[in-house]
Amino acid sequence: MMLCALPAPAEKRYGTEDLPVSASRLLIGIFAVHSDLLYLAKKKGFEVVHNYRFEESREKNDELAAYLEDAREIDLKVIVGFERKENYTIQKVVERVRRFRAHPAVWAWYLCDEPSMEMRDRVAEIASAIRREDPDHPLIIATDKSPFAVMADLVFAYTYPVKDQPFPQQDLGSDVRRIHQVAEAGLPFCVLVQTFNWNHYLPFDKRRRDNRYPTAEEMRFMAFYGVMRGARGVFFFSFQTLPIEHRNLGHAVALIDELKEVREYLVGDQVDAKRYIDYPHATAWRKGGLTLLIITNPSAQTVEATLNPGNWTLSDRKHPEATIPGGKLTLNPWGVHILLATDKPAPNESTAH
């Protein structure tokens, strides 16, 4: 069951306009950060972390307390989940929420991770129980099923697994369909970008030859397609293999730096991108005298978009001195263009002071 147009939830939700994201409206986070990797995660630029260890089917509240303290000391926020399987009960969940709801490092409660439909009633009961105990932190969930999406305040739209096909792979469009679905449904969401080879999570006898690392281009597309569609944050999955396994840690860090440079514009006013470009996959934000445009190509084909004439100049954000001539903008497969539009002075406007 995929996400579709959803009715408004019946019960009052955490105020999504007050979601505890960064002041610049785009939070950067990562999953699977072990205790001994917290400092490295902070150093690499992440702001929110998650650790699956506390969701194992045995008691770990004391260990979680130490983890939260370590995160607080270096100004990291934490997504706190709950024990799974037979220990995913209202009693166990409420016990954890009551103990840690006032801790300054808690960012959100991870309601559930890709639950099956058989868990629908239990997840709904637990969501209501958490809201009664703690109205001050949002509930988040990773799902592509409508009945679960409406239970949470924030949905993780995950973009994996990436298949071992030559880039530009034809299936990337279906892998990022969850971003499109949750955006079309009008739900607050974060995009969850794959950074590693999925085989790291599989036993040797179940590893598949069609799994691989995503390329830097694919990771960048996943992140900025989410931002273009209104994501509240960009999260990466996952950290536990990145520091020692692959150059994708460098790709992720470079992407983080670019996201942080761009997000200052997201506090501005959102404006109609059609003023600048005749193309459906574009969004624009205006701050001061500049307008930032994020333009993506969610397909495996090269496409052209028409730039509209107007009293402004367009330039690449990284090279503002080189303006883009009018006419057509070529978009590579799964490509991302980030442009700045600068208003020109009116013809009769005096430059004298």
- Enclosing H/E stretch for 172: helix 172-175
Residue 132 — very low, low, confident or very high, per pLDDT cuts 50/70/90?
A: very high
Lowest mean pLDDT among 33-42, 195-204, 265-274, 333-342: 195-204
Q: Span 95-104, mean pLDDT?
A: 97
Q: What is the mean pLDDT of the chain?
A: 85
Statement: residue 130 has pLDDT above 50:
yes
Place of tokens 């630029």: 45
Q: What is the pLDDT averaged over residues 201-229?
A: 83
Q: Is it the case that residue 209 has pLDDT exceeding 50? A: yes
Strands 139-142 and 154-158: parallel
Mean predicted confidence (pLDDT) in 245-249 = 69
CATH number of 269-343: 2.60.40.1180
More confidently predicted of 204 and 235? 235
Measure Cα distances from 96 to 13, 229, 299 in Å.
21, 34, 44
Task: Identify the pLDDT of residue 240.
Answer: 67
β partners of residue 78: 49, 106
pLDDT at 225 over 70: yes
Three-class SS of 250-278 = HHHHHHHHHHHHHHHHHHCEEECHHHCEE
**22-267 and 269-343: identical CATH topology:** no
* Tens of pLDDT, residues 32-54: 899 999 999 999 999 999 998 89
Bridge partners for 155 per DSSP? 141, 189
Confidence of residue 295 (pLDDT cuts 50, 70, 90): very high
Collapsed DSSP state (helix, strand, coil) of residue 56: coil
Q: Considering only CA atoms, which of 213, 121, 136 is closest in space to residue 167?
A: 213
pLDDT for 4: 43
pLDDT given for residue 211 in this prediction: 73
pLDDT of residue 17: 47
Say what the pLDDT of residue 9 is.
42
CA distance to 37, 160, 241, 242, 347, per residue, from 198 (Å)? 20, 8, 11, 12, 57
* pLDDT band (50, 70, 90) for residue 158: confident
The secondary element (H helix, E strand) that includes residue 124 is helix 120-133
Cis (ω within 30 of 0) for the bond into 298? Answer: no
CATH entry 3.40.50.620 includes domain 22-267: no
Q: Please, are residues 225 and 296 in contact by the beta-carbon 8 Å criterion?
A: yes
Determine contact, residues 227/264, Cβ cutoff 8 Å.
no
Banded model confidence at residue 345, pLDDT cuts 50, 70, 90: low
- pLDDT of 30 > 60? The answer is yes
Domain ranges of the chain: 22-267, 269-343
Query: Does 57 score more than 70 pLDDT?
Result: no
The DSSP-derived string for 181-222 is HHHHTT--EEEEEE-S-GGGGS-GGG--TTB-PPPHHHHHHH
* pLDDT for residue 173: 72
Q: pTM here?
A: 0.88
Least confidently predicted of 84-98, 190-204, 269-283: 190-204
Please give the pLDDT value at position 162: 77
Q: Which residue has the higher pLDDT, 175 or 83?
A: 83
- The lowest-confidence range among 144-148, 166-170, 198-202 is 198-202
Q: What is the mean pLDDT of residues 264-277?
A: 92
Is the model's pLDDT at 86 over the cut of 80?
yes
Q: Which residues touch 44 (CB under 8 Å, ≥6 apart)? A: 249, 252, 253, 256
Mean pLDDT in residue range 132-140:
94
- Identify which has the larger pLDDT, 24 or 68: 68
- Measure the CA–CA gap between 258 and 165, rounded to whole angstroms: 27
